[in-house]
Structure 1
Amino acid sequence: MRVFTAILLILLVLLQYRLWFGKNSVPDYLALKENLLHQQSANEKLRQRNKLLYADTDDLKVGLEAIEERARNELGMIKENETFFRLIPKDDGNRN
């Protein structure tokens, strides 16, 4: 009976060792779970960026307002018969 108990005890210790320190152990599981949370948050940020890009491309395909806005902001273009005014801030000379 003592031999049987000793064998069961050794088996229990070996199983516990694999559970806590072996391959695919509890610490490995917790690290993978944390990595999964980081990846899910990164994926959500990318989904939001993709939604903005899809909306922007749809707007460019459908409407001329977005094209005009981009031409004005990024290229500095103006319409025909418009007057361009550039406002330069006044320099007070009080810089330190």
Structure 2
Amino acid sequence: MKWVSILLLVLLAALQYRLWFGKNSIPDYLAMQEEVEHQRQQNNNLRQRNNLLKADIDDLKIGMEAIEERARHELGLIKKGETFYRILPAE
């Protein structure tokens, strides 16, 4: 019975050693959690930056379309390859 207790105690010590100091141990797990949290924060920052860039692109597209429409209407802008037709009201 004494040998069984000693064997179980040695086995427990070996498992505890692996749990605390071996590969994929608790400290490794905690370090990986910190790394994941850091990466998550980076992703959130990049996601916000991408959203701002998309908003800027949309503003530029809308702004250019408005400028082009105004130039067509007020200044008679005609692009290459387009044909201009002017329809006059009947008097």
Residue in 2 that maps onto 1:44: 44
- The alpha carbon displacement at 1:59 in A equals 1.3
- The alpha carbon displacement at 1:64 in A equals 3.1
Structure 2, unpaired ranges of 5+: 68-91
Alpha-carbon distance in structure 1 between the residues aligned to 2:33 and 2:2 = 42
Higher radius of gyration, 1 or 2: 2
Question: Quick check: which one's helix share is greater?
Answer: 2
Residue in 1 that maps onto 2:6: 6
Moved over 3 A (4+): none
Task: Classify the secondary structure of the residue corresponding to 2:9.
Answer: helix
Aligned ranges 1:21-36 → 2 under 5 Å? 21-36=21-36
Matched, 1:17 2:44: no
Aligned-partner residue type, residue 33 of structure 1: Q
Structure 1, unpaired ranges of 5+: 68-96
